A and B are shown apart, each in its own frame.
Chain A
């Protein structure tokens, strides 16, 4: 660790320590007020319902996009699934390319950016409000989202920038500007700027403040309440050490522990489901019945559908464009192979992990139903289903898992912190790429963004900034608005790549190395 870095770290910590406790209350109130006033219109616009309904247009936008890509590429998510697995296993990797980024590594890195609070807290929110039926729509959204991911990640690799020193920069900004130009269409550059702005906001909000905030909430839940800025400064210090100080070891440890945590989470869920094997049929019955009748949840069937689709989109980020940035680093002659690999992400994230969370919540009987009618009982406000201890969000998941294994709440705290941390590292990079796209690459411009990012960690942990978090969610969805427009325009290019690749695969020109 060099001296200037250590100095900067101390200065940052001191700055935050001085600012946070004394003015925490007034700052919170001010930030809330400013944000609510200046961004409220944007949040209302993004989450505006379709005329005459309660259905947010943004959810329809994502679903229609995913359906179009699914149909246009002929159910690519099912057709290419076995080939995707073979690519990740390395069956088609040239041994002479060893030492370059492998498909597995790109997938693991992109996954550690998406597997996180969406899988633990988001699902609980979906099931808590939309009932078991939300699970059905969530799985469907995950399956459809695989086609969106396929499209965006192929384009991410195809139109990335490769620099003479061997580093790469890629993502929706680059396919928007370069891809549109290639097709002779105007507006690519404008779209790219919009995307970059939303991506920076999404990175600071959903990819940072929301994560820090929930990590603090989980810790406080176990050790008792204490000021959030303490968690914030510790987290910011670690993030700072990794992204500014280049302390790769911390990141590397996290990247190793996160997959392990993910596997432990799924295994525990499987054990709990196994212990209640007699209820599995009933649970799936609830999922299907709830999907089409609502079983009395708020908003009925449509309520379940909105919750399912919305939380799935939050969790797997399909169509948002973030994964395209992570995947663009792979050294491959065939951009389409990265699309194949990336379509596994929504599958693992949503169809497997989110479903596990939902099933555990349902099967452990956290949701209270009327024993006579079988319909769920709503809370007094009528906004969500009554739960055993009145839990919602992370606490609901925690209660469901702890009802079988008491110690699991501690594992869950660790998982939440690690997931939050790895999501923050990933989004700091996504935000940085958007930042450098707008302001140019260079040590100073990059450092400015990284410091801003760390400051937002403290702000995020210190307060529960409802409007700010609403805004950052809206920013992530706004990325999808811009990104999916670009995907519609550029999907014929992906189609051409796909047809060419599949014909060469069939003819044996592309062959296995082992």
Chain B
């Protein structure tokens, strides 16, 4: 099997387990891993004038924080395990962005952690896992 494994990573415990699972698969298949962190963002949300003026600064801060606090540790962990790893840091709708990354990069499967929202919360806000399962162009593994 060729292609990379895409892991949707948000730093949570279940995301860690998803990384571990993906690492096992990668080793077995000799595949690379693409770690993606998506910052939830809608271009149709509403901001105050002050937030507009500060947006670029905040965005840079958010990106820097995600890079150092979230991505760097997991990359170091995978590299030390001898797995080739790349990262993507994006803004957007989480499930849609993961699907887009899957087609842009040559991805063979997507692995994500289960968020464990209550049934009500998922019903109200939709869940990433649910949307991905419906929309992904390739197999999706949801790690509990």
Contacts and interface: CB of A to CB of B under 8 A. Distances in A.
Interface of A: 90, 93, 95, 98-102, 104-106, 108-109, 112-113, 165-169, 242-243, 248, 251-252, 255-256, 258-259, 325-326, 329-331, 425-426, 429-430
A429 B56 contact: no
B46 A99 contact: no
12 contacts: A99-B63, A99-B91, A101-B52, A108-B46, A109-B46, A109-B47, A255-B48, A326-B49, A329-B49, A331-B56, A425-B49, A426-B49
Contacts, number: 89
B43 A105 contact: yes
B55 A326 contact: no
A113 B48 CA distance: 10
Contact of B55 (A101, A256, A258, A429): A101
A258 B57 CA distance: 26
Contact of A167 (B45, B46, B54, B62): B54
B51 interface: yes
B90 interface: yes
A105 B47 CA distance: 7
A165 B64 CA distance: 13
B39 A99 contact: yes
Interface residues of B, number: 25
Given A167-B53, A168-B53, A331-B55, A101 B47 contact: yes
Nearest to B62: A99
Contacts of A166: 54, 56-57, 59-60
Nearest to A330: B52
A169 B45 contact: no
B59 A329 contact: no
B120 to A, nearest CB: 21
Nearest to A110: B49
Contacts of B90: 98
B125 interface: no
A102 B51 CA distance: 12
Given A100-B55, A102-B43, 4 more contacts: A248-B48, A252-B48, A255-B47, A425-B48
Given A99-B62, A99-B91, A168 B56 contact: yes
B19 to A, nearest CB: 24
Contacts of B41: 98-99
B108 to A, nearest CB: 23
Contacts of A93: 43
Contacts of B63: 99
Contacts of B60: 166
Contacts of A248: 48, 51
Given A105-B47, A109-B46, A326 B52 contact: yes
A322 to B, nearest CB: 10
| Main DSSP-derived SS at the A contact region | helix
Contact of A252 (B44, B46, B49, B55): B46
A109 B43 contact: no
A398 B76 CA distance: 64
B92 interface: yes
Nearest to B53: A329
Contacts of B47: 101, 105, 108-109, 252, 255
A246 to B, nearest CB: 9
Nearest to B45: A105
Contacts of B46: 105, 108-109, 112, 252, 255-256, 258-259
- The 8 tightest CB contacts between A and B, nearest first, are A99-B91, A166-B57, A255-B46, A102-B43, A329-B52, A98-B91, A429-B49, A166-B56
A166 B41 CA distance: 19
Contacts of A169: 53
A166 B64 CA distance: 14
B100 to A, nearest CB: 8
Interface string B102-137: 000000000000000000000000000000000000
A161 to B, nearest CB: 10
B49 A325 contact: yes
Contacts of A101: 47, 52, 55-56
A455 B50 CA distance: 20
Nearest to B52: A329
Nearest to A170: B53
B55 A329 contact: yes
A109 B55 contact: no
Contact of B44 (A104, A251, A326, A426): A104
A104 B43 contact: yes
A113 B45 CA distance: 16
Contacts of A168: 53, 56
Contacts of A259: 46
B54 A99 contact: no
A253 B77 CA distance: 41
A102 to B, nearest CB: 4
B44 A102 contact: yes
Given A167-B54, A329-B53, A100 B59 contact: yes
Contacts of A430: 49
A100 B56 contact: yes
Nearest to A253: B46
A93 B92 CA distance: 13
A159 to B, nearest CB: 15
Question: Which among B51, B52, B56, B59 has the highest number of chain A CB atoms within 10 Å?
Answer: B52
Contacts of A99: 39, 41, 59, 62-63, 91
A109 B52 contact: yes
Contacts of B45: 105
B56 A90 contact: no
A167 B44 contact: no
